[in-house]
Structure 1
Amino acid sequence: MMIKNLILFVGFILISSSSAFSQPNIDKTLKLWYNRPADNWNEALPIGNGRLGAMVFGGPAKEQLQLNEETVWSGGPNSNITAESGAAIPALRKLIFEGKFEEAQALADVEMFPKRNSGMIYQPVGNLFLNFDGHEKAKNYYRDLNIEKAVATVTYELDGVKYKREILSSFTDQVMIIRLTASKPGKISFTATMDSPQKGGLKMENGNLVYAGLTADHEGEKGQIQFESQVKTIVEGGKASLKDNIWTVVNANTATVYVSIATNFKKYNDLSGNAALKARAFLTAAIKRRYPEALANHIKFYQQYFNRVKFDIGANSAVDKPTDQRIAEFAKTNDPHLTALYFQFGRYLLISSSQPGNQPPTLQGIWNDKMLAPWDSKYTININTEMNYWPAEVTNLSELHDPLFKMLKDLSVTGQETAKVMYGARGWVTHHNTDLWRITGPVDRPYAGLWPMGGNWLSQHLWDHYMFTGDQNFLKEYYPVLKGACDFYLDVLQEEPTHKWLVVSPSNSPENTYVPGKRISIAAGTTMDNQLLFDLFTKTEKAAGILGLDSEFRKILKNTLARLAPMQIGKYSQLQEWMHDSDRTDDKHRHVSHLYGLYPGNQISPIRTPELFDAARTSLIYRGDPATGWSMGWKVNFWARFLDGNHAYKLITDQLKLVGGRIEGVDTKGGGTYPNMLDAHPPFQIDGNFGCTAGIAEMMLQSHDGAIHLLPAIPDNWPTGEITGLVARGGFVLDMAWKSNKLIRLKVRSKIGGKCRLRINKDMELKSRDLVLAKGLNTNPFYETPEVKKPIISFQAKLKAVGIKPIIEYDVDTDAGKEYVFNLN
């Protein structure tokens, strides 16, 4: 029954939000905290405002902020395509279709190795140091990162004085701010200076300490990013002076240090900006604002995003332990609050590294201290950049997807040269890496780099955003990107000789080999390529229909879809990774590319394609659980899609395995999590944090398979909990509470309107006279599911029962802007 105040109450039972959880006096504040300063970068704490990042070490006698700005990259505008880049492709196709894979790989290794650069490096700005004489003897030391406020804090005592530092990267003032206070007046004394591994130097200018630098040359490309870091210190009481490139503060009551950084970057092909003027403008505006106001503005801006989602699965006395100790003990103890903290830490990192109008986060987000960063800290787009944005829509951070979309629009321009010169094709293409300069040719060795599907995978995010928001203006703006991607594949698809399927050749299944002991990856018609093509063509055809565009083009896409290779089940009952049945049961590779169709895709379903579902699960069992950090994050999503909450939770415990640090008896080999909660590949890759955050959300809510599946993969470890603010496709925002593994409360806010189909495991059946059992297909257009070809199954395959729990579905008709609250028993 609908009432006019826009809220529908069904079977109302008053249940307080705290009644579900034990020990209500436990401090559930979401903070990473430690009782000693960072000993190295992997113990320091990250702050960021989307553009400016810093790692805070927290030393009482020597504070270090390792500084980054998102556009500080080596090199300058360039293209890595040359006239001969694609000359060997016809010969490679011939060898591949003749089954001469070793010869094809050998030819590719010589002829397809990039003739120009393999991408530029995301690099550091440098360091800010604050030196406090005599503070080595500090007592009662404490530092934290409060991710509910995006503020890092350091406190300690010395000679009866309590000292405090608050450090933030201000979203609203676009500077970093370090606020120093003491419990007694006149006790703040320190010096401040900077250094940098870049070319440049310190100077004093306009009353500020300035480091002016120029980024590095790399692989034949001259460094062209000019940057300036400007530091200003303001005190209350005492004295602040700038001399010999050092700020000196003596006997102040409080001190506030401002750090402003800017570059000459305007666009990937435009470096006409003025770093000095931009940095000075930010700094001049920031110092006019009193610190309490600046802090409040920063927190308010941040919390407009962060507070959209609340997650509580209980807490206990483990919260009283330092965070690194909690990580070390996680697999052997019951610490549900750490899972919630890790989930929200992923959202914190996305808010802090991906703001509208800025660059997307790199392989290390906006945090990197190395001039030669691992994998250049580029955009690795055969999984890692995509994974960075998996939490964006479902965890209610949709606007933060914007930097990825803007990069896609750039790539759809720069990728036209690669499509034309390398493949003789229309449209646009990019391979497995790109950078600030939007290069689109193959990067690194052909073993990994000869994969022309990176732009395709990135383009899936455009449709996903539409599915969650229903924004047709957005779809219209980015439709040319989707169409251009399709144009490329329509031109380059090849007919393979055995089945006459249309396939991509040459390509690979990212970074994996089908020949034991040999680095042979080159292939045609890999399963992931086929899945990506299916999704791109299907989604673009739908987008054209929604927008009323390109009727003939839609027919071409449909006809081409019918000729794509289907998914195949191989001799081990596995989902084949390659067109030929070459999988091995002992293959433990970190990439599980052929399961893209399970997650983040939705081509594999226990309801629609049970044979493929079972084969995909068999593949993942063979692949195993232990892996690099980001790979385990992906596997959390897989096991959530397999509706196996206990196995998904097991992968969370694998992910939350301490790597490094100073706790005795900790085995720190392999992937996991560093003491500062950043993902350990190792080394650090931020995509593992984002992937696992998305996986935890997937355990609680799924909306890819024709309905909104509530609590689809809740593990036994979470019998009671509450989550608010998760988003389902079709613009439904959901709040849920459960107790003893039963849903007890549900609120649905409908942004778009339309049918809301709720799915739940039958043993959680929702008992209410006002809920209507669902009948037939879901008529909500955002829940249309793909029609996947019947799989080809080899005669050796022995299919097992899928083994999922029975489900039940209900329909609720909704109006845009209204809320529907269900209190259930």
Structure 2
Amino acid sequence: MSNELWFRTPAPDWFEALPIGNGHLGAKVFGRVPDERIALNLDDVWSGAGPRKLQVTDGPEVLADVRRLLLEEGDQYAATERTRALQGPLVESYQPLGDLLITSPGEAEDYRRSLDLRTGIVSVDYTRAGVRFHRESFVSTPDQVMVWTIEASEPGTIDLDLVLTSQHPVQVAGLGDTFTMVGHAPSDLTIEYRTSADPIRYEEGRGIGFGVALRAFATGGSVSVKDAGVRVRGADQLTVVLSAASTFAGWSVAPGSDPTAALREATALLDAADLDKLRERHLDDHTALYDRAELTLGTPVDLPTDERIRAVAAGGEDPDLSALIFAFGRYLLMASSRPGTQAANLQGIWNEDRRPMWASDWTNNINTQMNYWPADVTGLRECFDPFTSLMDGLAESGSETARVLYDAPGWVSHHNSDIWMASWPVGDGGDDPVWAMAATCGVWLSAHLMEHYRFHPDLEYLRDKAYPVLAGAAEFVLSMVVEDREGRLQFIPSTAPEHHFVLPSGQKASVDLTTTYDIWVLRELFGNVLQAEDALGLSSELAARIRAAGPRLPEISVAADGRMMEWPTDWQPSEPDHRHQSHLYGLYPGSEIDPARTPEWASAVRASLAVRTGGRPPGGWTSAWLIALWGRLFEPEKAAAVIRDYTSRLVSGNLLHRDGDIFQIDANFGLTAGIAELLIQSHTDVIRLLPSLPTAWADGSYRGLRARGGLTFDVSWSAGELTGATVTADQAGTFRISALGGKAVEVTLAAGQKRELTAEFGER
């Protein structure tokens, strides 16, 4: 299989630069020769000066008004507008850190730029004046530094200058053998979609401070460090080591005001780094994680990645490019989410703008969740840890939001969050409730903790991490449901995320009685709590309340034309081809809908998708969701068509999602998860191998894909027929497994057992 992205030219812009990172420190490498730029990010450098206090004083009264308007007056428009009074401050924005600029004389020939996904190393090779040069860049997780090296085929031919710059106010200095930069992020910033006469504000002593430290080590020649930068002359080879730190001390406290404290931390990382072992330690860490899973499709194509993309756009088939997209998503998650770091945000860890699109925040009505769809199924268990930590913060912050806004126990998280753990509806009254008023985002987020447990059955994790968060979400939901005239329990306020409906008056509204999306996630939450208690041997009063409330939730409704309804009334949608597929949650990422078990619901999903996909072409993360939905419906050709369309329209030459000037990384992660869904499914009582295999993928194999229950599978096929299937069990159990839609076989495994299954699937 291909594990490399490569190009014949440097990156023309930030989008096309190649990403490296360790979850904390990120970089985009342009690969320019005379004027190299490496754009830097640090996961905890955001705008803002500390946690904010929610100023809403009449939340319970507003909630009572909304309930009355819906239950008694049936006035969805007035209810929608009334929820604006629940909005708190807008989120702060993820920030760039700075740039490492490297200048050297002369133009390059015979140029090649590459990213080896398996090693996590960006390489640049070129010839200048008859001398061959080789550059490498990587960010080490074990040593928490970025490393840039250059070597030459002739001694004494490396001449260059290095300097650090930033969009933020900074001071640079040469301190002995170390070049340094200190500064701080804005103390307050106006989100990009709002206008302001002074949108980026810096205040002395407020805001997250940062320090960056750099050292250059040459063989031969000379290195001098001045306040103007680092000068290297006549070297045989050179290694540059860079580290960074911030004054962020946790979401609930104001950061330290002295960036020199961050600089001391960064310098200590340089002091601790063993120059001779940096590359080896990086490779050992990176390859051990990356090699857990592998996908091979068709025959590798030895062409530059951007040329392969253009060939697919012209109508060509390139199954190996789909495998490369799959691998790239895994690589990006490894680079932007590691134990101890912040969770991957809307752009992962890479951002060049002080006012990035949608704040480069955590958008919790699909995007944050999609970032972590591929983690467990593709063997990246550790990369899920930051999501668990994010949930801990949101649950703590959200308990105060639940109390202030709704006089409710438990915890709540709405549409947007940031490093200060905003959990309220954002907008200060000025944002549309269609996205701001999404009170079940925390419910959806919590489902991922239970899914993580299903892939990795660990009772300690379930007891200490997942269950408390699930229980808190359930406490909130049970306090929020109210009885309607028919005796059903309605969750109010409820929305179909980011989608308006049109009332007979022509007004657009978004808040209603319990939407289909909310029914799915509430039912899933209740089931998750009950399953967790069963696994933990608990029998709580909370579980008894759930058992009483669950059957009283509204039923899932199907419209007269066979579509799955989105709202409790079959309102006219403002956008029939809307990007969110939230009412289809029960199919994916939920598990209630299945063509084999619930054919009526599956038919309703198909009817809904016929409308949803009948208009404008989908965007990036919408495409990823569609791939997973078609996979669960056993429609591999429709899924493959979406992959081809996405590859043709919605990626940069480096495979990062790009829609015009918009970069969101969730599409990359979602593509990886969607591709996995075509190859293995384990959300029902049958584990399905190759359930939705496209005809263009007639030959291939995968290794290390995981199923719920703690199983790992290696599978191969040729001409669309199974040629090999092996399973390894984390723990003992009996499992039902099928291949290519054939008859399920029952397999009993001991803990740690590896078993060949190919012969058992002979009868189909």
Structure 2-normalised TM-score?
0.93
Q: Which residue of 2 aligns with 1:320?
A: 302
Alignment of 1:340-489 (within 5 A): 340-444=323-427, 445=431, 446-478=433-465, 479-489=467-477
- Determine if the alignment matches structure 1 residue 551 to structure 2 residue 527: no
- Which residue among 44, 63, 77 is the counterpart of 1:102? 77
Q: Which residue of 2 aligns with 1:51?
A: 24
Q: Deviations over 1:211-251 (max 9, x none)?
A: 10111022589652110011111100000101232100001
Partner SS for 1:320: coil
Distance 1:335 1:85 in 2: 58
Distance 1:112 1:52 in 2: 36
Kept after mapping to 1: 8 A contact 2:376/2:452: yes
- Which residue among 28, 41, 51 is the counterpart of 1:68? 41
Q: Tell me the CA shift for residue 810 of structure 1.
A: 0.5
Distance 1:565 1:204 in 2: 67
Q: Deviations over 1:152-190 (max 9, x none)?
A: 001111111011110001112111000011110001100
- Which residue among 810, 814, 822 is the counterpart of 2:745? 810
The CA RMSD measured in Å over matched residues stands at: 1.7
Q: Tell me the CA shift for residue 526 of structure 1.
A: 0.7
Kept after mapping to 2: 8 A contact 1:468/1:731: yes
Q: Which residue of 1 aligns with 2:168?
A: 198
Alignment of 1:82-231 (within 5 A): 82-84=55-57, 86=59, 87-97=61-71, 98-109=73-84, 111-114=85-88, 117-134=89-106, 137-218=107-188, 223-231=206-214
Q: Tell me the CA shift for residue 602 of structure 1.
A: 0.2
- Which residue among 262, 285, 289 is the counterpart of 2:275? 289
Structure 2 counterpart of 1:255, which letter? L
Structure 1 counterpart of 2:65, which letter? A
Distance 2:419 2:621 in 1: 23
Q: Which residue of 2 aligns with 1:22?
A: none
Distance 2:537 2:3 in 1: 47
Q: Which residue of 1 aligns with 2:603?
A: 614
Q: Structure 1: which 5+ runs fail to align?
A: 1-27, 659-671, 763-806
Q: Tell me the CA shift for residue 681 of structure 1.
A: 4.3
Q: Tell me the CA shift for residue 326 of structure 1.
A: 1.0
Report the CA distance shift for 1:239/1:731 in structure 2 as closer, same or farther (over 3 A): same
Distance 1:620 1:213 in 2: 50
Report the CA distance shift for 1:583/1:610 in structure 2 as closer, same or farther (over 3 A): farther
Q: Tell me the CA shift for residue 657 of structure 1.
A: 1.9
Q: Tell me the CA shift for residue 524 of structure 1.
A: 2.0
Q: Tell me the CA shift for residue 546 of structure 1.
A: 1.8
Paired residues in the alignment total 730
Q: Is 547-556 or 535-544 further displaced after alignment?
A: 547-556
Q: Which residue of 1 aligns with 2:646?
A: 655
Kept after mapping to 1: 8 A contact 2:187/2:208: no
Kept after mapping to 2: 8 A contact 1:630/1:681: no
Q: Tell me the CA shift for residue 434 of structure 1.
A: 0.7
Report the CA distance shift for 1:583/1:599 in structure 2 as closer, same or farther (over 3 A): farther
Q: Deviations over 1:704-752 (max 9, x none)?
A: 0111111000001011111010000101100001111111111000111
Kept after mapping to 2: 8 A contact 1:138/1:158: yes
Q: Which residue of 1 aligns with 2:198?
A: none
Kept after mapping to 2: 8 A contact 1:381/1:433: yes
Q: Which residue of 2 aligns with 1:303?
A: 287
Structure 1 counterpart of 2:29, which letter? V
Distance 1:42 1:422 in 2: 40
Distance 2:555 2:230 in 1: 66
Structure 2 counterpart of 1:311, which letter? L
Structure 1-normalised TM-score?
0.86
- Which residue among 4, 8, 12 is the counterpart of 1:39? 12
Partner SS for 1:537: helix
Kept after mapping to 1: 8 A contact 2:500/2:574: no
Kept after mapping to 2: 8 A contact 1:577/1:583: no
Structure 2 counterpart of 1:654, which letter? D
Structure 1 counterpart of 2:97, which letter? V
Kept after mapping to 1: 8 A contact 2:77/2:508: no
Report the CA distance shift for 1:753/1:585 in structure 2 as closer, same or farther (over 3 A): farther
Q: Tell me the CA shift for residue 703 of structure 1.
A: 0.3
Q: Which residue of 2 aligns with 1:490?
A: 478
Q: Tell me the CA shift for residue 519 of structure 1.
A: 4.5
Structure 2 counterpart of 1:388, which letter? N
Partner SS for 2:240: strand
Distance 1:85 1:366 in 2: 37
Structure 2 counterpart of 1:302, which letter? H
- Determine if the alignment matches structure 1 residue 754 to structure 2 residue 729: no
Q: Which residue of 2 aligns with 1:784?
A: none
- Determine if the alignment matches structure 1 residue 680 to structure 2 residue 662: no
Kept after mapping to 2: 8 A contact 1:571/1:581: no
- Which residue among 562, 565, 569 is the counterpart of 1:573? 562
Q: Structure 2: which 5+ runs fail to align?
A: 191-200
- Determine if the alignment matches structure 1 residue 30 to structure 2 residue 3: yes
Partner SS for 2:744: strand
Q: Tell me the CA shift for residue 585 of structure 1.
A: 10
Kept after mapping to 1: 8 A contact 2:176/2:225: no
Q: Percent identity?
A: 37
Kept after mapping to 1: 8 A contact 2:40/2:100: yes
Report the CA distance shift for 1:477/1:426 in structure 2 as closer, same or farther (over 3 A): same
Kept after mapping to 2: 8 A contact 1:151/1:167: yes
Q: Tell me the CA shift for residue 550 of structure 1.
A: 3.9
Report the CA distance shift for 1:518/1:70 in structure 2 as closer, same or farther (over 3 A): farther
Q: Which residue of 2 aligns with 1:692?
A: 671
Q: Which residue of 2 aligns with 1:561?
A: 550
Q: Which residue of 1 aligns with 2:496?
A: 509
Structure 2 counterpart of 1:576, which letter? M
Structure 2 counterpart of 1:678, which letter? L
Distance 1:719 1:545 in 2: 42
Structure 1 counterpart of 2:739, which letter? I
Q: Deviations over 1:554-613 (max 9, x none)?
A: 111111101111211012210111111125596011111111111111011112211111
